[in-house]
Structure 1
Amino acid sequence: GSVLLDGTDLAKLSESRLTAVRGQNIGFVFQSFNLIPTLTALENVETALVPLGVKAADRRNRAAEALDSVGLGERLGHLPSELSGGQQQRVAIARALVKRPKVLLADEPTGNLDESMRDEIVDLLEGLCEEHGLTFVMVTHDSAVARRAPRLATIRKGRITVKENRPVG
């Protein structure tokens, strides 16, 4: 198959061009948060902007805005160890969104969270993606999360099935 982003077949790009497209157009949210333990929430979010050449003052402002958008405007100076699992995932979401991507990819973003925090994070992701007009692709094994998706792709025995889904909630 092929993957098109803005009409460009990603499989036909050189490795360096593909890296540039990923850096500029795709935000990633992981199950394990992947925060740097010695950096504050603000610094962790800023790291996504460094490869894009964003100047320091603008990085700080954009990172602070992104953290505020996920409800962590008061936790900018906190280290990951000083944050709950849900707060750490919010930092990871802010880091993914701060570069203003076109696509947000989330790999089991609620896998390390309890049920109520899971629902809160999915609500947040859905709201932010709608607000920013992002394409949102999430991998999950959690059927409660999967039922919320408007389109569901399932892989069984090497076969992909795609169906329209009536979201719950």
Structure 2
Amino acid sequence: EGDLTQQLSADRYDEIGQIVHSFNSFVSDLRELITRAQACSTEVSGLADTVWHASIENSKAVEFNAVAVMGTAERTQEQHEEAETLTQSLAGIAAHMDEIRRYASAEGADQPALIASIEMVGACAQVAAAASASLSKASEEIAGHTQDAAASVEEQTASLAAFAATAEQLKGAAEDLDGLVGRFKV
């Protein structure tokens, strides 16, 4: 281990004095290089910590986004099923309305059949109303999941911007180190 705080002294101005002066200058440059390298190392360490924290935040945002997307997929499937139920109920209503029209226009209309058809229309309308309400609720939940996913993407974008800024700082620190090391021939 070398002690870079020491300086050689020479009261001579001959070749030995020049060697001592050159050596002292070299040690001074080396001391400056080490000081600046330590500063760069500290900066790189801090930037690495920043990247670590940003990667944790990015990971959380990705997990949150995955949950939101899965929730959206589930609610979309439920919405599809409710839309099919609604379609079937509306088709049932239309069919029963045709029956009612036929019974009502026939001579000597069959009152019990007419009443049964009206009740079937009412039942189909209730199923359609329930399916419509469920469809509306699923749409609201999908909108919520979509907003959550958008917020998560925004967080990921901010995290990626932090990664880019940190990478730019690391590049600057690396250039500083290259400049310091480039002053010495190896």
Which is richer in helix? Answer: 2
Larger Rg, first or second structure (1 or 2): 2
TM-score by length of 1: 0.19
Higher strand share: 1
TM-score (norm 2): 0.18
Greater relative CO, 1 or 2 (CA 8 Å, sep 6+): 2
